Amino acid sequence: MANRIPAQLRGWILPLVIATVILAPFPVIDVPRAWLLYLFLFFIYLALANMWNLLAGYCGLISLAQPAFIGLAGYILAIMAWVGLPLYLGVICGGITAAIFALVISRPLFRLRGVYFIVASLIVPEALRIVFFLWRPVGGVLYGKGAGYVIKGSASVPPMETYWMALVIGMGTAFLMYFILRSRLGLGLAAIRDNDNTAASSGINVYRLKVYSFTLSALITGIAGAGFYISQGFIEPISAFNIQWTMILMLATVIGGIGIMEGPILGAIIVVFLHFLLARYAGISLLIQGVILIFIMLVAPQGIMGSIRRIRVYQTYRGLLKLATRK
Determine contact, residues 128/72, Cβ cutoff 8 Å.
yes
Among 41, 246, 210, residue whose Cα is nearest residue 125 = 246
Three-class SS of residue 143? coil
Please give the pLDDT value at position 64: 93
Res 91: pLDDT: 94
Mean pLDDT in order along the chain per 10 residues (327 residues): 46 82 89 89 95 88 93 93 90 96 93 88 92 71 61 87 94 91 80 75 82 94 95 88 90 86 88 82 74 78 71 50 50
Query: CA-CA distances (angstroms) from residue 32 to 24, 159, 232?
Result: 14, 12, 19
DSSP-assigned states of every residue in 66-111 = HHHHHHHHHHHHHHHHHTT--HHHHHHHHHHHHHHHHHHHHHHHTT
pTM: 0.86
Whole-Å CA distances, 209 to 3, 84, 186:
20, 37, 9
249-273 as b/e, with b when 16 or more CB fall inside 10 Å? Answer: bbbbbbbbbbbbbbbbbbbbbbbbe
DSSP assignments along 151-214, one per residue: -TTGGGS-HHHHHHHHHHHHHHHHHHHHHHHTSHHHHHHHHHHH-HHHHHHTT--HHHHHHHHH
Give residue 5's pLDDT.
46
Q: What was the pLDDT predicted at 3?
A: 42
Please report, for residues 1, 148, 313, 314, the alpha-carbon distance to residue 323 in angstroms, rounded to integers and kept in the order given: 29, 66, 15, 14
pLDDT confidence of residue 137:
63
Which residues lie below 8 Å from residue 213, measured CB to CB, with a gap of 6+?
A: 54, 55, 58, 59, 61, 185, 189
According to the model, what pLDDT value does residue 325 have?
55
